[in-house]
Amino acid sequence: MAESSKLYWQTNKIIDISPVISAKTAVFPGDTPFEADFLLKINKGHNIDLSTIKTTVHIGAHTDAPSHYHASGVTMDQRKLHYYLGPAQVIEVNVKKGARIYPKDLTQDVKAPRILFKTNSFPDPNNWSSDFNSLSRELIEELAHKKVILVGIDTPSVDPETDKVLESHTAIFKNDMAILEGIVLNQVTSGFYDLVCLPLKIEGADASPVRAILLKHE
């Protein structure tokens, strides 16, 4: 491996933007919380630790499959991976609690194919709050016009909790974009990075948890 490649993957260049997943992790009202069951434990005399989990696939940092929000959408195992790997831009916005983000709210020009919104409106992944920020249909259309292929946000959803129409999800489907929700950006400054957030290849799944990371640009 070239020396430059080794340096690129050094730990101090990796920013983990995934919350810890545990039984404390807040999930969408009515969804399945995380539960782990250890079948074997070394500290109980077994030769290995062995566990099983039960949870919503929309736990923590996760990506929605198009099948989650459209009858014609593909499932997670059918999703192409280029959406989830490559140049990204973090944009911090400041709008009132519970509000959607509109093009006028952007604080900088969009210059990357993957845009992550830092709203600071869902500060604790372990405590559910309904007044988180979300995205607007107008913003999605503007981003699509600028060739954005993935939108991410530091909240549980790109639409408000009570939105049954799912206007942003629908606009995302129309423009063949990907979604990344539930990321943690409180320690991330606005700017340019490389994003890695590969979903699990779960047959028929409408979403997948991801270990989302940002790689610092020099």
**Active-site residue list:** 68
Q: Sheet with 62-64: list strands edge to edge.
A: 14-16, 213-216, 191-196, 85-92, 114-118, 150-153, 178-181, 62-64, 207-209
Q: Which amino acid type is present at position 124?
A: D
Distance from the Cα of residue 178 to its chain's centroid: 10
Q: 40 to each of 6, 22, 52, 55, 205, how far by Cα in Å? A: 37, 18, 10, 20, 28
DSSP state of 25: -
